[in-house]
Structure 1
Amino acid sequence: MSVLITSGTYIGEEMQAEFGRIPPAFLPVGSSYLVQHQLRRLGEQDEVWLSLPADFAMDAALARLLEAEGVRIIRIDPTKSLGMSVFQSILEIGADGPLQIVHGDTLVTPPETPPDDCLSIAGVVEQYSWGLVTLDGERVRAVASEHRGDRLTEESLMLSGYFRFSDTAALLKCLSRSDFGFVSAIDRYCRDHAVAGIAAIEALDFGHLKTYYSSRYRLAAARHFNTLSIDGYTVHKKSRDAAKLDAEANWLRSVPAALQPYTARLIETRGAPQAGEYRTVYANFPTVAELYLARSSRFVWQKILAGCREYLDAAARFEGPGETPLAWLVIDKLRERLGQYPGFLPAADERLTINGAPVGTLEDIVARLAETIAAAPARAPAIMHGDFCFSNMLFDVRSDRIVLIDPRGAVRGEQTIFGDIRYDIAKLGHSIVGRYDQIVAEHLVAECDATGRDFTLEVPGGDALREWLEERFFAASAGGAAFDEPAVRAAMVSLFLSMIPLHADNPKRQRTLFANALRLHARFFGE
């Protein structure tokens, strides 16, 4: 059966202030777009169609992602109504068979054996304009638009985003006879067909700012099992690696008051920390990784970068004892991880190329990185988060403040809040310059030839915002450290090489991380 995902207009202005001017299917949810979650929930279908605004510029990575999933695109005038959008889409799809429709701002799990004609319904929980449903038993008797919130009650039922029609030609006629009003066309269709209203279909609404965050919360709470749970207002993190979580909790507990506005709030009984687990207050903010996948404006990104520099400046004011652990963080840890590489990656003494350019052997690369770190200016240790990347930053758009989660909290196996600020800068660079979040989302995927030594990883040009972010990164400094200094660049390359064993569940991503390290090394240290 064919499926139409309706995403032919743009999200509302309130949401655009955070995520930019994007269609709802491309709202970021975790490390993926909403449409990727939708495709996983829909499972195997005969055809999947996605309507998009006619003037929406889809970059090469997005186009490749949809093509790989077999999604067919229908371009729609974004000023047209939902009903007209659906009408035009059906004309392109064809009206000679049954059709499922999923709203582009909704994540649904269709029933395994649904009735031939059905739609999903849910109780009203927010005061927005909804399509209200009247039932006679399980059959839908009437559907009407409701624009006045004072008419909504606890018993009100609404359309929740999933529709299945056995007679697509009849739906086409209903749209035409209803002046292309979607809700009135559904009402007309239900008069002539036995349409079941199914409340058991799980539907998460991402279409309004408030429902976006509540749905995002519900999705996160459902997806995490053993290591992370979200319950009420708290995040509960636990792991078999008790030492790791104890170090994280100790960092959150121990940072000075001046840095606490930038960190997640630890919840515990004073003097009674729990071993191998901890709780923090749940903050209903997007991660910076989500904003990076979206098209947030430069105004938002200026505030994010300013918040990052502000935090780094504040952290650098607190000096720690002893010498900087930069060599251990960048080189020693990397050499340890090299022994855990998967067998499909080349041996350390094999000569490699990236995008046709020779980069020497892995041994050569590690030696160059070690030489660069050894030549780095000495610095006193300072407070270090240790994993200062986009996925570990939340951004409060209303207060223009970053909130940090999941710190490292340990160096050489010992709990500490101190490290080297240049390592945190490199972690920020691995998100901005290294495009880590695009790799995780599989927007960037490397290829390798039959020899296993020649890699290709092209970062598409023409992405003005991300290119601007890179320029701003390399022009910045914080805590007395320039973001473009050689030690930061070396640490960025090392990060991608050392994280490869941590992604053993995804060999394709491991290959891309390796190729990306070669790409960065060629860019930073190539002749």
Structure 2
Amino acid sequence: MLLILSSRMVSEEIALQFGALPPAMLPLGAGRLWERQIELAMGEPVWLTLPEDYEIGEFDRARLAEARVNILRLSASLSITEAIAAAIDHIAPEGAIRILYGDTLVSLPDDQLMLSDRVCAKASLANYPWAFVRGMENGRPVFSNAPPRRLENRNAVCGYFHFADARVFAAICRENGFIDALNTYAERAPLQILEPETWLDFGHLSLYFQSKRDMLMARSFNDVQVEGDFLIKQSGQIAKMRDERRWFQDLPETLRLHTPRFGGSIERDHRAGYALEYLFAPSLADLFAFGELGLSSWLEIFEGCAQLLDKFDAIPPEPAAPEASAEYAALFHQEMIERKTRQRLDNFLTTAGLDRAQEFRINGRQLPSLGRVLDDFLQAVPPTRPADIRLWHGDLFFGNMFYDFVARRAMCIDPRGQLPGFGYARFGDPRYDIAKLAHSVLGKYDKTILGRSRLARHAAHDWELRCAATPHEAEIEQIFSETLVTARGLSRSEIAAMTGLLFLSMLPLHGDDPERQSHLLAAGLIFHSKLQEAAA
């Protein structure tokens, strides 16, 4: 049996960046920390303790139920030993129990995970209020809260334990603090130290970001890797990678603070790429999909986004540059707004066995045919004018944005860098960047990508799409629309139309997951209703 202790909220410094969450509910990768922690269960039952007053959202309740995680509510005022004793009393396990701190992740070989009477400990020079293995006395380990005076003896207790007799340990916990409980148990049982292969501590803000980076280093993908303090992006799409890195290299000084430091170009093994400083900051996708921030934090974030866009807007192309011409503005609108969407939608419809005449009913509203929806979207977007063209990013959705709460600065990565029919392109229509943001905020794109949406099919083409709720979501949407749409002199109808077009153009890019394509199609069609509402 695996018991994950997460009945207290995260520290104040973490809560300021993610909201008040139990540690096991912190965002990590494409999910929450507990989703990684239960991999240690090895098929055994899992119990997760949570604070009595913590409200689990509908989508999280469903995921916990699907994973067969048992929830035990405990008072946040309990000490660690009181929480352990209360949990064991409630669960009443026969024999052994394994305990994992809610802010901890370790990796061990399968055969070591089930070894009896073990305490994980690992050497660390970091200065945090951990417990330590002070040494050995009479063949048993001795634990202490006092950091060792010698650096070579800093063997920190990691937060993963195996006790062969759960009830004995619970009885000891009722009468002792945690360090005394470990020492008392070690006097009665052959407790041994076990060194994990890796130990990730998410209990302090700096450690959270370091641990997240270290986990990415261990789980690198083919095109994106973390090497030390740098994120390496490379691909066989050589022209695209060269244009992306050129975008970073050509950035004016006023914008370099809004991107990671550029770490150099990469050309190897028939691939091109570049290195960027790894950002120790939360992505806006994590904050929106998994966080519990208050309205004031979102107001600050959107103000930061507005400041970034203002700096983009302040940089038009040189008057004699090709990007300043009417031909470039027309090409941008034709390629990025019209042709891309038509071609990609047709590709999707062919693969899905649909055509433009198909009509859908989404969230109780009957919509016109797909072809009519596309035409309505296109007609609602005024053509791009030469005076509109400014420095742009081209893929400014929440997954490519971070917010540095210390510097109070929005950051971005992964620019588009190209315009079909033109090549390297650092200038574009600012409305495109705002529509990209809108498809994260108003369209919940990142939630869909992260598996936090549900699609109910009442009939073949009668669907209901629901996404996991973010606290204060309606107010967040209003703040976004006021701060980044109407305050910039844009109409909600043109941004609704451009956002709908973005969803339609993305459909073939998610061909590996037909169900996700359905979610994205429904999300895009919803913007036809938003367009009508905005135009009314």
Asked whether the two chains share a fold, i.e. TM above 0.5, the reply is yes
Does the 8 Å contact 2:136/2:142 carry over to 1? no
How far 1:340 moved relative to its partner? 3.5
- Alignment match of 2:245 (pick from 223, 245, 249): 249
The aligned counterpart of 2:152 is: 154
Deviation at 1:267, TM superposition (A): 2.9
Q: 2:517 is matched with which residue?
A: 510
| Residue in 2 that maps onto 1:299 | 296
Superposition deviation, residue 415 in structure 1: 0.7
> Structure 1 residues 138 and 158, CA, compared in 2 at 3 Å: closer, same or farther?
farther
Distance 1:505 1:197 in 2: 45
Alignment of 1:9-408 (within 5 A): 9-39=8-38, 41-42=39-40, 44-114=42-112, 115-134=115-134, 140-146=140-146, 149=147, 151=149, 153-178=151-176, 181-268=177-264, 276-292=272-288, 293-320=290-317, 321-323=324-326, 324=329, 325-341=332-348, 343-344=351-352, 346-374=354-382, 379-408=387-416
Deviation at 1:222, TM superposition (A): 1.7
Structure 2 match to 1:437: 446
2:237–2:271 CA contact under 8 A, matched in 1: no
Give SS of 1:158's match: strand
Distance 1:345 1:289 in 2: 32
How far apart are residue 137 of structure 1 and its match?
A: 11
Mapped partners of 1:512, 1:140: distance in 2: 57
1:458-469 to 2 correspondences below 5 Å: 458-459=466-467, 463-469=470-476
Structure 1 pair 90/326, CA: closer, same or farther in 2 (3 Å)?
Answer: farther
Residues 335, 326 of structure 1: alpha-carbon distance in 2 compared, 3 angstrom cutoff: same
Letter in 2 for 1:245: M
Given residue 357 of structure 1, which amino acid in structure 2 is its aligned partner? R
- Structure 2: which amino acid aligns with 1:314? K
Shift in CA distance, 443/268, structure 1 to aligned 2, threshold 3 Å: closer
Counterparts of 1:139 and 1:107, CA distance in 2: 28
Q: Following TM superposition, by how much is the alpha carbon of 1:344 offset from its aligned partner in structure 2, in angstroms?
A: 4.9
Q: d(CA) in 2 for partners of 1:3 and 1:65?
A: 18
Mapped partners of 1:347, 1:194: distance in 2:
70
2 CA distance for matches of 1:171 and 1:450? 55
What amino acid maps onto 1:36 in structure 2? E
SS of 2:388's equivalent? coil
The one of 473, 476, 488 equivalent to 2:495 is 488
1:141-164 per-residue CA deviation (whole Å, 9 max, x = no partner) reads 222333xx4746332212112112
Aligned-pair identity in percent equals: 28
Which amino acid in 1 is paired with 2:506?
Answer: M
Q: Does 1:424 align with 2:436?
A: no
Structure 1 residue 258: deviation in Å?
A: 2.4
1:497 paired to 2:504 = yes
The Cα offsets for residues 484-522 of structure 1, whole Å up to 9 and x where unpaired, read as 432211111122222222223333322222222223333
Q: Which runs of 5+ in 1 are unaligned?
A: none
1:447 paired to 2:443: no
TM-score, with length taken from structure 1: 0.91
Instruction: Note closer, same or farther for the CA distance 1:102–1:508 as it changes in structure 2 (3 Å cut).
Output: farther
**Structure 1 residues 186 and 349: alpha-carbon distance in aligned structure 2, compared to 1, 3 A threshold:** farther
RMSD of Structure 2 on Structure 1 (CA): 2.7
Structure 2 unaligned spans of 5+: 318-323
TM-superposed deviation, 1:90: 1.4
Structure-2 change in CA distance of 1:475 and 1:400 (3 Å): same
The secondary structure found in structure 1 opposite 2:395 is coil
> 3-state DSSP class of the match of 1:447?
strand
Note the C-alpha offset of 1:265: 2.4
CA distance in 2, matches of 1:164, 1:311: 50
SS at the partner of 1:267?
A: strand
Secondary structure of the 2:34 match is helix
TM-score with structure 2 length normalisation?
0.89
Letter in 1 for 2:185: Y
Partner-residue secondary structure (3-state), 1:57: coil
CA distance, structure 1, for counterparts of residue 391 and residue 487 of structure 2 = 14
Q: Which amino acid aligns with 1:508?
A: E
Deviation digits for residues 175-194 of structure 1 (CA, Å, limit 9, x no counterpart): 1232xx23322222222222
How much does 1:133 deviate? 1.9
CA apart distance, 1:275: 7.0
In structure 1, how many angstroms separate the alpha carbons of the residues matched to 2:510 and 2:413?
20
Q: Quick one: structure 1 residues 500 and 101, their matched pair in 2 at CA, closer, same or farther if it must change by over 3 Å?
A: farther
Contact 1:421/1:479 (8 A) holds in 2: no
Q: Deviations over 1:377-411 (max 9, x none)?
A: 88531111001111111222111011211100111
Q: Is structure 2 residue 481 aligned with structure 1 residue 474?
A: yes
Larger mean CA deviation between 499-508 and 261-270 belongs to 261-270
Q: CA deviation at 1:419?
A: 0.9
Q: Distance in 1 between matches of 2:490 and 2:483?
A: 6
Secondary structure, aligned partner of 1:100: strand
CA contact (8 A) 2:231 2:278 kept: yes
8 Å contact kept, 1:345–1:511: no
Query: How has the CA–CA distance of structure 1 residues 519 and 36 changed in structure 2, closer, same or farther, with 3 Å as cutoff?
Result: farther
Matches of 2:271 and 2:251, distance apart in 1: 19
Name which of structure 1's ranges 110-119 and 50-59 shifts more when overlaid on structure 2: 110-119
User: Is the contact between residue 322 and residue 381 of structure 1 (CA under 8 Å) also seen in structure 2?
Assistant: no
Measured against aligned partners, the alpha-carbon deviations of 1:450-469 in whole angstroms (never above 9, x if no partner) come to 62x221112466x5432221
Alpha-carbon distance in structure 2 between the residues aligned to 1:443 and 1:168: 36
Matched residues in 2 for 1:108 and 1:426: separation? 41
Separation in 2, partners of 1:91, 1:316: 62
Q: Distance in 1 between matches of 2:346 and 2:137?
A: 64
307-316 or 194-203, larger mean C-alpha shift: 194-203
Question: By how many angstroms is 1:140 displaced?
Answer: 4.9
